[in-house]
Amino acid sequence: MADESTTALQIELVAADRVVWSGQAKEVIARTADGDIGVLAGHAPLLSVLVPGVVEITSLDGEVVRAAVEEGFLSVAGDHVSILSEDAFLASEVDAKSVQTELEAAQKDDDANAVLRAEAKLRLIDKAS
């Protein structure tokens, strides 16, 4: 049986201005331009474009860390996964009332990208509850 160090992924979730989450995990699920993707240890090398959505990271102890991400990139090299996003928020950092206001403003301004970002945050809140 392999030990955890050989089956663990090293994850970095990075926004433009900060490291949002970093650590070891069993699995990462993210939404890319080609659809949802799951990454486990031993995954083939990959570079993919992220679209606004929710990233789910399952830690080694089974805890699921969720974050809303904006546009960016997902890179897999060996067992190292980098999730690079213009902005990213953990569930604990998102306020439903603020996001609803953000969504309404985006809809009023007919800003499709801002609507997608706000909807991703709302999905994050929904999954976290």
The per-residue pLDDT for range 35-72, each reduced to its tens digit, is 999 999 999 999 999 999 999 999 999 999 999 999 99
The reply to whether 54 and 116 lie within a common domain is no
Provide the pLDDT confidence category of residue 6 given band limits of 50, 70 and 90. Answer: low
The reply to whether 12 and 56 lie within a common domain is yes
Number of domains in the chain: 2
Backbone angles phi, psi at 38, to 5 degrees: -110, 140
- Domain span including residue 66: 4-90
The reply to whether 82 and 50 lie within a common domain is yes
CATH number of residue 40's parent domain = 2.60.15.10
The reply to whether 49 and 8 lie within a common domain is yes
The reply to whether 115 and 86 lie within a common domain is no
Of 17-26, 31-40, 53-62, 103-112, minimum mean pLDDT range: 103-112
How many angstroms separate the CA atoms of 22 and 128, rounded? 19
H or E stretch at 58: strand 53-59
CA atoms within 13 A on the CB side of 21: 26
The reply to whether 100 and 76 lie within a common domain is no
- Return all residues near 35 (Cβ < 8 A) that are at least 6 apart: none
The reply to whether 78 and 97 lie within a common domain is no
Q: CA separation (Å) from 45 to 34, 39, 65?
A: 16, 10, 23
The reply to whether 72 and 44 lie within a common domain is yes
Provide the pLDDT confidence category of residue 125 given band limits of 50, 70 and 90. Answer: confident
Helix then strand then coil, % of the chain, to nearest 5? 30, 45, 25
The reply to whether 53 and 97 lie within a common domain is no
The reply to whether 109 and 123 lie within a common domain is yes
